[in-house]
Structure 1
Amino acid sequence: MTPCKGLKGLFAGLMLAAAVPAVADTDAQFRLNELLSSDAEYRETWQSLVEHESRLPEWVLNLSGVATPMNAVEDDGDRYLVGQLCETERCDKRLYVAFSWDKDSAYALYVQVPAGLPADKSPSQHADKRWFGEPDETQQAILEEALKRDPTWY
């Protein structure tokens, strides 16, 4: 190996190593319940999405509730910031949202598990789902995958 090739490889490796924590830090600092107050572009995108939806509860309209840290998700070159929000700690009503990386579009999956569902009943078999923003198959798969990662979803 020539010294020049070795330095190029080392430099490429260092650049990659430096980029990975930056993405992790970027996504981990956001939560859905803080996003609208922290960034006007997210707020505008969200408001344009929900203004066309009917009969949404206040916590969905305002993205207020119990949230987990958001994650950066990439699929086929498209990047999204994806997060979960629950109405309460029990999380019978939950919302999964994917914002495009450029903040121009948002897609959501609203999931409602019947109140008082016995513990021996699978939430996935009894829940109602509602899509917002007309997500394509890829965007639906991203939101469904976020739902499946929830340990209370089986």
Structure 2
Amino acid sequence: MSVSLKGLAAALLLGGSAMAMAANDGQMRVNQVLQADPQYRETWQHVVKKEERLPEWVMNLSGKSEQQMNAVEEDGDKYLVGPLCELEASCLNQRLIVVFSFDKDEAYAMLVEVPAGLPADKSPTRHADYRFLGNPNEGMQELLMEQLKKDPNWY
């Protein structure tokens, strides 16, 4: 089954409101959202303006994003979520998981940093620092963590 057929099948299974969700699902990468719509930019700027010592690629969502954003649901609300790294090569050591609400009024993120040079036999999960942006509630923090766990290189 092709990716678009899987998306359509999932939308049909989820019901009518999921059809609108599927229209946006996977068509954009995190590093494209700020250019796609001024409302995304405004919402993101509101999130990062209060934060201190964030890397420029996080402030501008200008890193590498190999995966398209996906539609997810949390507590009855719909969101677009996707990963971002400064460079593809540095993704294991530093990555950002970004979430935008479908109405573009809310944004949250989790910056994950793992010490460089961590031996391959050491679990990145146990050595990572997690920094939440946008003051996400517990449910949103869990959603962000679940997105990270979907990475096959994260254990």
TM-score of the superposition, structure 2-length normalised?
A: 0.84
Structure 1, unpaired ranges of 5+: 1-14
Q: Over aligned residues, Cα RMSD in angstroms?
A: 1.8
Alpha-carbon separation, structure 2, partners of 1:85 and 1:64? 8
CA deviations over 1:85-132 (Å, ceiling 9, x no partner)? 011113011001111111111111000011111111111011111011
> Is the alpha carbon distance of 1:21 and 1:104 closer, same or farther for their aligned partners in structure 2, counting shifts above 3 Å?
closer
Aligned residues: 140
1:24 deviates by: 3.2
Query: Where does 1:6-21 land on structure 2 (aligned, <5 Å)?
Result: 16=12
Q: Percent identity?
A: 59
- Quote the offset at 1:16 in angstroms: 3.9
TM-score when scaled to structure 1? 0.84
Alignment partner of 1:85 is 2:84? yes
Alpha-carbon displacement from aligned partner over 1:6-53 (angstroms, at most 9, x marks no partner): xxxxxxxxx947955653341211111011011111010001100000
Q: Which amino acid aligns with 2:97?
A: Y
Gaps of 5+ in 2: 1-10
The answer for the alignment partner of 1:74 in structure 2 is 73
- Whether 2:154 is the aligned partner of 1:153: answer yes
- Superposed, 1:87-102 pairs within 5 Å as 87-90=86-89, 91=91, 92-102=93-103
The alignment status of 1:132 with 2:130, answered yes or no, reads no
Aligned to 1:110: 111
Residue 85 of structure 1 aligns to a residue whose secondary structure is strand
Select the residue among 28, 31, 36 that pairs with 1:30.
28
